[in-house]
Chain A
């Protein structure tokens, strides 16, 4: 079969083991380079967390890096307060959770219907409203600190968790509304009209047809709100002095600012205690967050 033999070199070029091996080596070198770069860049972050872990379980860090002697002494705060100055840890943790959940519920409850209206309804001032929310989002929240303090004092919401999450949610809502609006925008009008013709009222259409389709959006703003609420610092220490209403960030803040001396072991242990739930939460929910980039219309009709 002379014709076939003639064709062979061209086809063989691709399957040549030496060429393949060279190709594979080059790919491997490239991957190695990429990984090396990423590892070096993320090293300081890992080192930070590593330091926290080592510090919280060892009696001493020689030269601040080498751990010596395993101890659980720093974790005693879990069952007894470090001093009379500190409130009960579990009460503080509960406050932190309450703040995170309150923040999440407020965000979802307000952003979901607001975004629907902005996406689907025509009304006077709609575009102005959209522009204003963006401006509000661009506004640094810290500049409002004193004004909001007065507002909360007038409303009797100082030293209360709802006071904090209302302010925090108000400043985060523009983002939530815009994210949700994106999800609603991706649903075709036909689907909504179809539900109306099928006999649904406007409200039924919203919660039976629209809402299930924007659930990835609801998930993502919930996750963001929860994490922001859990880790809120500046509003908590500004608006809450009452120790009964402290959150974990005020707790850690007071360890850092302790008048006697700075206990690094205790600081590390409480910090880990503070981070762990968020890390776990993020670990279990991140797959919902990933959908945000894909958009809200998987397999739409």
Chain B
């Protein structure tokens, strides 16, 4: 088991910088997810950790040993590819035994360890088959066994679930997490699927264009996204984002845009001072947005535009002025298409970002959780 540290890690392919100055440390036994859209550099980091790619700049440390120049075979890394990358000409047994044979392990030891790991993953009865005779889920388990059989210091999983069907994905997710806990292996999971990352990881590094945008625990990522990118990337359905202007004339701090004005409590002013006179982006998660159908003076008005029943919840599309806003409400909503509704916003659930840099601006709501935003439908 190992502690992994990346320092100023950079990888360029010609003029294209795939990974740009990444600093990251992963604790012993931790499961860290690298989450981001395709092409964000997450797989490149994985291949650098495996020793396939050599970093252009920066260092990789396993415990306190610098491994930049250590070839893949010397790193003690287990890697599971999205495509599983099984050896098609070998049986399942030979696939799993391959890393041990390369180490010239004794025949009895190979036999014992292959059976042991196959039992853990419940594929013992498949050992004599060829990969082409296995289902996707079984192939996935074989790949995992092959990575685990050498008792790696570091386990790397590259989109391990994305080739499985929905039901199998949930099962395998739990299974991998259980195995990882039991064995206590430091694990890095690369994925573009936020559910995969949120459910499995201890911490998540959200990446974009070769840079880590935010590194935090899953819950914090959801509750306090550090910038606009993370806010829009995490959450399904995505967060409502509305460009507004911060006004403070006459001692009445408020956010304004055509057709919508949101009055902030006076106490919110100091925290927003950095945004004074600037454009900001207001973010509200659909599941945090509530509305009522009885008229309530002072609340922003919206029209129900479309209803999308999702079973447990219903997604309500609304128009407020020129803004399109979505709310996720439980079960059968009373609202009907064409209804006029009144939006209820809670200050703790609002996210405000700088309109230029996209950085999160603190509303200071944490200090006054009792205060409610007074919102007003504007002209």
Residues of A near B79 (CB, < 8 A) are 193-194, 197
Question: How many residues on the B side are at the interface (Cβ–Cβ under 8 A)?
Answer: 31
Give CA–CA (A196, B77) in the complex, Å.
10
Stretch of B84-92, B263-271, B275-283, B358-366 contacting A (4+ beta carbons < 8 Å): B84-92
What is the chain A residue whose CB lies nearest that of B82? A190
By the criterion CB–CB under 8 Å, are A197 and B78 in contact?
yes
By the criterion CB–CB under 8 Å, are B50 and A300 in contact?
no
**How many Å from the CB of A167 to the closest CB on chain B?**
35
**How many Å from the CB of B90 to the closest CB on chain A?**
8
CB-CB contacts below 8 Å: A170-228 with B: 188, 190-191, 193-201, 204, 208-209, 212-213
Residues of A near B102 (CB, < 8 A) are 198-200, 204
How many pairs of A and B residues are in contact by the CB < 8 Å rule?
81
By the criterion CB–CB under 8 Å, are B87 and A195 in contact?
yes
By the criterion CB–CB under 8 Å, are B73 and A301 in contact?
no
By the criterion CB–CB under 8 Å, are A199 and B99 in contact?
yes
Q: A193-B47, A209-B87 are in contact. Are A299 and B73 (CB under 8 A)?
A: no
What is the chain B residue whose CB lies nearest that of A190? B85
- The main secondary structure of chain A at its interface with chain B is helix
What is the chain A residue whose CB lies nearest that of B136? A301
By the criterion CB–CB under 8 Å, are A212 and B50 in contact?
no
Q: Is B183 an interface residue (CB 8 A)?
A: no
Q: Is A298 an interface residue (CB 8 A)?
A: yes
CB-CB contacts below 8 Å: B65-86 with A: 71-73, 75, 77-79, 81-86
Give CA–CA (A198, B156) in the complex, Å.
12
By the criterion CB–CB under 8 Å, are B131 and A301 in contact?
yes
Give CA–CA (A204, B99) in the complex, Å.
12
By the criterion CB–CB under 8 Å, are A299 and B52 in contact?
no
By the criterion CB–CB under 8 Å, are B87 and A196 in contact?
no
Residues of A near B82 (CB, < 8 A) are 190
**How many Å from the CB of B330 to the closest CB on chain A?**
43
CB-CB contacts below 8 Å: B104-149 with A: 130-133, 139, 146
- Can you give 21 A-B contacts (C-beta < 8 A)? A191-B85, A191-B87, A193-B52, A193-B79, A193-B85, A194-B85, A195-B87, A195-B98, A196-B50, A197-B52, A198-B73, A198-B102, A199-B99, A199-B102, A200-B73, A200-B102, A201-B71, A204-B102, A300-B88, A301-B84, A301-B87
Chain A residues with CB under 8 Å of chain B are 188, 190-191, 193-201, 204, 208-209, 212-213, 297-301
Chain B residues with CB under 8 Å of chain A are 47, 50-52, 71-73, 75, 77-79, 81-89, 98-99, 102-103, 130-133, 139, 146, 150
